Amino acid sequence: MNIQQVDYDGLIPNNVALGQDVRVKRALEKWHPGYINWWNDMGPEGFQESLVYLRTAISVDPKGWAKFDYVRMPEYRWGVLLAPALEGRKIPFGTHKGEDAWQEVPGEYRAMLRRLVVIQGDTEPASVEQQRYLGKTAPSLYDMRNLFQVNVEEGRHLWAMVYLLQKYFGTDGREEAEALLQRRSGNPDTPRMLGAFNEKTPDWLSFFMFTFFTDRDGKMQLEALAQSGFDPLSRTCRFMLTEEAHHMFVGETGVTRIIQRTCEAMKEAGIGDHNEIERVRKLGVIDLPTIQKKANMHFSLTLDLFGNEISTNAANAFHAGLKGRYREDRLKDDHQLETGTYPVLRLIDGKIQNEDSPALAALNMRLRDDYVVDCNNGVARWNKVIADIGIPFEIKLPHVAFHRHIGEFSKIKADVIGNVLGDTDWSKRRGEFLPSEDDRAFIESLMQPQTAPGKFASWIAPPKVGIDNKPGEFEYVKIA
């Protein structure tokens, strides 16, 4: 079978020759009804019967991997797709560096590997759960379609991880696959595994910030796992990254369009000062300081996903050859890191300062640093839009010590530029940094659905081009 082409004949589209793998095929077919139940319960509420103009992966050829068509979401063809194997691939880092990449789970690392797959897998359905009510307040059919596209692809990412569990981890893999359908975002008894995936995504600014910041964490994690010496995981993640790019496009352009609309409205009304919040809000757009506060919140919550700055788990996973660094293959060093150091921002005697730490132990910090650079590139593009319209304002990412719940800075309170604050000061000033009840209520008041083709809510500009080059009036969702 040609690996580039996807077999669509069976229940589960795939390019892994599932037809010849009776045990795994049965296991996945058994898991399928539970998945569909989960989707119907926890997927986009109110739109399961609607026809949505979605892309479906039909190939893993980067030049032409997707086709677009109207689909009812519960009938979306969720499949198992791996990027093509690289001939003669070697383990690229860690103590096994240079050995042949593993095609089966290395026994000594089984538990560690399973945990990595489960943690990644758990984030995928979580974000669908977090976003399930947003369809009802979509600012346009275009945006509604993008939301649903992200949702079905997060569903497919769950399939991707479940395939690995079912194929490579036997009975406990099967149990983990079941558990992935049982946990629920924000449920106090059975929460999702990571904090940011138990937060609410109550409005569309949150959704765009989430896809900008939190899906970008997803990208970093996938990039690190795409380096894995366990080849099936590497190939799975490499293909997921092609889909992930669209999620970040949705987030980045979503926020860009909100900023653009705000700045244009300010310009038209002759408001040059971003602090005239009430006047700006009367224009039916979201004021820039509130956008900044939302960015502060989503950025800080997402930083927690990188875990402790100093981590033996991260060191072990790298040493074992299971999880690499961001773009490991482009880095020029020994790829083993047994001797080097890396500067880690720590809390030393109550002060935030850099300390050289063993490079292996500092891998979470390193991935987080790469993430911050990537975020800043996106933020610079937002700021260019503001500057081009001529409003003197810049969005700035807060200091990494700000509003943290995990790692070095979880013990302290800090402002957005990294000054340590006492509890009283923090309580007094919290509303300067993070959205207040008022801000939330205002944003919520704007969340009125706009479902006429080609129309957009007052607070967001139309996109520059349509999806699949469709014209502005295109009916991306036929609401049933």
Which residues here bind Fe ion, judged by CB under 5 A?
A: 124, 154, 157, 215, 218, 244, 247
| 216 vs 325, beta carbon nearer Fe ion | 216
Q: Could you tell me the smallest distance in angstroms from the CB atom of residue 271 to Fe ion?
A: 36
Identify the DSSP state of 100. Answer: B
| 180 vs 310, beta carbon nearer Fe ion | 180
What does the block give as tokens for 443? 């944003």
CA angle, residues 415, 417, 421, in degrees to nearest 5 = 30
What gap in Å lies between CA 165 and CA 36, rounded to an integer? Answer: 18
| 247 vs 257, beta carbon nearer Fe ion | 247
What gap in Å lies between CA 245 and CA 249, rounded to an integer? Answer: 6
What does the block give as tokens for 472? 């502005």
What gap in Å lies between CA 472 and CA 452, rounded to an integer? Answer: 11
| 153 vs 408, beta carbon nearer Fe ion | 153
| 183 vs 247, beta carbon nearer Fe ion | 247
Q: Could you tell me the smallest distance in angstroms from the CB atom of residue 194 to Fe ion?
A: 13
Q: Could you tell me the smallest distance in angstroms from the CB atom of residue 330 to Fe ion?
A: 23
- The type of residue at 47 is F
| 213 vs 230, beta carbon nearer Fe ion | 213
Please measure the distance between the N-terminal and C-terminal CA atoms of the chain and give it in whole angstroms.
Answer: 39
What gap in Å lies between CA 61 and CA 68, rounded to an integer? Answer: 16
Q: How many CB atoms lie within 10 A of CB 4?
A: 16
- Phi, psi torsion values for 148, nearest 5 degrees: -70, -35
Contact by Cβ (8 Å): 53, 68: yes
| 39 vs 459, beta carbon nearer Fe ion | 39
Q: Could you tell me the smallest distance in angstroms from the CB atom of residue 368 to Fe ion?
A: 18
Q: Could you tell me the smallest distance in angstroms from the CB atom of residue 234 to Fe ion?
A: 16
Pairing of strands 413-414, 477-478: unpaired
Q: Could you tell me the smallest distance in angstroms from the CB atom of residue 150 to Fe ion?
A: 6
**How many residues does the structure list for the chain?**
480
- Phi, psi torsion values for 80, nearest 5 degrees: -110, 110
Q: Could you tell me the smallest distance in angstroms from the CB atom of residue 127 to Fe ion?
A: 7
Burial-class residue 278 by CB neighbours within 10 Å (0-12, 13-18, 19+).
Answer: exposed
| 43 vs 435, beta carbon nearer Fe ion | 43
Q: Could you tell me the smallest distance in angstroms from the CB atom of residue 405 to Fe ion?
A: 22
